[in-house]
Amino acid sequence: MPSYPKSWWFAVFGAVLAAVCVAAALLVTQLINSVFPTPLFFAAIVVSTWYGGASSGLLAVVLATVALDYYFVPPVRHFALKAGELAYLIQFAAPAVVTCWFVKKRKDAESSLRQSRDELEYRVQERTLELRHANEQLQAEMAERIRAEQSVQQAQADLAHVTRVTALGELAASIAHEVNQPLMAVVINGDASLQWLAHDPPRIEEARDAVGRIIAEGNRAADIIRRIRALFKKSPLQKTQVDLNELVHDIMTLLQREMTRNRISLGLELENALPTVFGDRIQLQQVLLNLAMNAIEAMSGVTDRPRELRIRSERDDGSVLISVHDTGRGLPPEQTDRIFGAFYTTKPTGLGMGLSISRTIVEAHGGKLWVATVSDGAVFQFYLPVASGAA
């Protein structure tokens, strides 16, 4: 069977449609015996144009004009085009052609609008799929980033713990000395208490005072052990209101023997009624411990000037500022930024992690840590925001 182009079938359909519509209009007009025969023919032209296209509409105009001439224009059932009859037919054909043109334009406009709407819907669906895919990728990347950040935080916490334990290992002699002092005081006061009780009559008040000193020294030893255990303990981040002046005193207690061994004097300039900060006590202790130990090591080889460690605390515009000043050799300008990098150290036996971890801890608490070189050494400073509601 031969194949015909699609346009040929559409042309046949249009011709048949035009003939059927005009025939139907003619039949109904004759049945109702209408005085005005043209309205149904106009309807036939509109239907033919709308469904069959321009050629079908024009064919309907021709067929309708012929039907009007043959069946309705006198003499009826004859083709006799006289001047008056021709004018009547032209008055019908001209508006019919215009109607055909308007209907075709309207159909084209609706088809174009429908096509545009379909294309828009397709593009919207396509864009929606792209956005959904991009959103899924973004969520996957965010989840991966969160996992990576958690891994980095865990690694930093592990490194911080190792650094803290390493520092305390180096301070083992000082720790033993600090614990030994209250224990020796307990023994001395216990012996004195026995002597006061051996008097005849027993001197109860003096013995009671000696027992009181034993209790006080026992509590002091317990406090030292508690602070050391807290520094050794690998505990999760626990933020509370922290008094930085109290932390300075705690760290200086641990470093007292180390400073005595290196003939370093201590100068504290701590502001009274210093507001508290909100942070993890153990991590902030580690920052102060790292800075103080670095200062002590920086002054270990100094012989041409007094060795002095000066620690200052003050309120500074909604923050608490801590300064650790040593009288060592200072730092070259090119090292002031590099010194905070991981694994960068100026000490022969250093790991290069202490200052890097300290800066990470300070920044995690909303603060900043930096260093400045002065004429008589170096000054490490950091600030932390005042805790909400602190005086």
Residue 8 has pLDDT above 80, yes or no: no
- The answer to whether position 89 is within a domain reads yes
- Whether 219 and 97 map to the same domain: the answer is no
Q: What is the pTM of this model?
A: 0.46
- The answer to whether position 372 is within a domain reads yes
d(CA 334, CA 357): 20
Structural domain of 203: 171-234
Q: Which residues pair with 270 in a beta bridge?
A: 313
CA 357 to chain centre: 23
Number of neighbouring beta carbons within 10 Å of residue 228: 16
16 vs 153, more confident: 16
- The answer to whether position 215 is within a domain reads yes
Q: Which residues contact residue 1 at a Cβ distance below 8 angstroms, ignoring those fewer than 6 apart?
A: none
Mean pLDDT of all residues in 250-279: 86
Mean pLDDT of all residues in 49-70: 86
Q: Give the CA distances from residue 21 to residues 8, 9, 10, 27, in Å, rounded to whole numbers and listed in that order.
A: 20, 18, 16, 10
Residue 320 has pLDDT above 80, yes or no: yes
Q: Give the CA distances from residue 193 to residues 208, 209, 294, in Å, rounded to whole numbers and listed in that order.
A: 8, 8, 43
- The answer to whether position 111 is within a domain reads yes
- Greatest Cα-to-Cα distance within the chain, rounded to the nearest angstrom: 165
Contact 287, 358 (CB under 8 A): yes
Q: Which residues pair with 385 in a beta bridge?
A: 319
- Whether 12 and 119 map to the same domain: the answer is yes
Residue 380 has pLDDT above 60, yes or no: yes
Contact 372, 379 (CB under 8 A): yes
- Whether 248 and 358 map to the same domain: the answer is yes
d(CA 295, CA 308): 9
- Whether 85 and 177 map to the same domain: the answer is no
d(CA 254, CA 66): 119
Residue 323 has pLDDT above 90, yes or no: yes
- Whether 277 and 192 map to the same domain: the answer is no
**Residue 199: pLDDT band with limits 50, 70, 90:** confident
327 vs 373, more confident: 327
Task: Give me the numbers of helices (H) and strands (E) for the chain, helices first please.
Answer: 10, 7
What are 101's two structure tokens? 């043109």
Reduced to 3 states, what is the DSSP secondary structure of residue 239?
strand
Give the CATH number, domain containing residue 278.
Answer: 3.30.565.10
